[in-house]
């Protein structure tokens, strides 16, 4: 055998070996299908719980004390609010007024939807505290873009004749959507 034949035999053997290695195994067949996926997005809202702090009260000055708080509501995209209700508070008196409390002493106060203190903000069911806020809402564009609503509080000077102390109340916020 000459050199040329030996080289050709080696080359042919190498190629055959490579073909066997890279050919792999034969498939008997294949089949396809579909994986279905679903996700349900619920309609929901969250509400922050702000604190409304009235300006320091000086009963000898004879001036009203006011304060504000901002309620922030975040909802599922495309949700539109129906209303926002502010409850009567933990210390409401029979005539309907909300009260800040310290022991046996109370200070009447009001919550309003406007800075002029003309539209009381309540829940539309409790006597004397006002109606729920039920207009001015737009559909949410994103849960990351909350809507904000300012609560205006007022204590009349005539209701400030109480002992020096810190007075508190707690008012439930309910958002219907």
State residue 7 phi and psi, 5-degree precision: -65, -45
Average pLDDT for the chain:
87
pLDDT band for position 15 (cuts 50, 70, 90): low
Read off the pLDDT of residues 34-49 as tens digits, 9 standing for 90 and up. Answer: 999 999 999 999 999 9
pLDDT at residue 61 tops 60: yes
pLDDT of residue 46: 95
60 CB-near residues (< 8 Å, 6+ apart)? none
Q: Which of 25-34, 48-57, 97-106 has the least mean pLDDT?
A: 25-34
pLDDT at residue 20 tops 50: no
Biggest CA–CA distance in the chain, Å, is: 126
pTM: 0.79
Residues 54, 68: Cα–Cα separation, whole Å: 8
Q: Which of 29-33, 49-53, 124-128 has the least mean pLDDT?
A: 124-128
162 CB-near residues (< 8 Å, 6+ apart)? 59, 102, 105, 106, 107
Block residue for tokens 């299908």: 33
Read off the pLDDT of residues 110-159 as tens digits, 9 standing for 90 and up. Answer: 999 999 999 999 998 888 888 999 888 888 888 888 999 999 999 999 99
- Which domains occur in the chain, in start order? 45-176 (2.60.40.1090)
Residue 54 DSSP label: P
Residue that wins the pLDDT comparison between 135 and 64: 64
What number is the average pLDDT over the span 9-35?
65
What number is the average pLDDT over the span 45-68?
96
**In the numeric block, which tokens belong to residue 81?**
């609010």
How many other CB atoms sit within 10 Å of the CB of residue 48? 13
Block residue for tokens 């599922």: 76
């Amino acid at each position: 055998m000459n050199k040329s034949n030996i080289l050709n035999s080696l080359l042919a053997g190498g190629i055959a070996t490579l073909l066997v290695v890279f050919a792999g195994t034969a498939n008997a067949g294949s089949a396809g299908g579909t994986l279905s996926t679903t996700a349900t997005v619920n309609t929901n809202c969250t509400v922050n719980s702000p604190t409304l702090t009235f300006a320091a009260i000086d009963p000898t000055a004879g001036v009203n004390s006011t304060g504000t708080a901002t309620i922030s509501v975040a909802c599922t995209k495309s949700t539109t609010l129906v209303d926002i209700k502010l409850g009567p508070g933990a210390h409401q008196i029979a005539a309907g007024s909300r009260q800040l409390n310290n022991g046996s002493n109370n200070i009447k106060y009001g919550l309003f939807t406007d800075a002029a203190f003309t539209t009381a903000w309540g829940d539309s069911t409790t006597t004397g505290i006002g109606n729920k806020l039920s207009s001015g809402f737009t559909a949410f564009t994103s849960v990351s873009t909350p809507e904000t609503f300012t609560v205006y509080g007022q204590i009349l000077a005539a209701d400030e004749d109480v002992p020096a102390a810190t007075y508190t109340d707690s008012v439930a916020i309910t958002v219907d959507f």
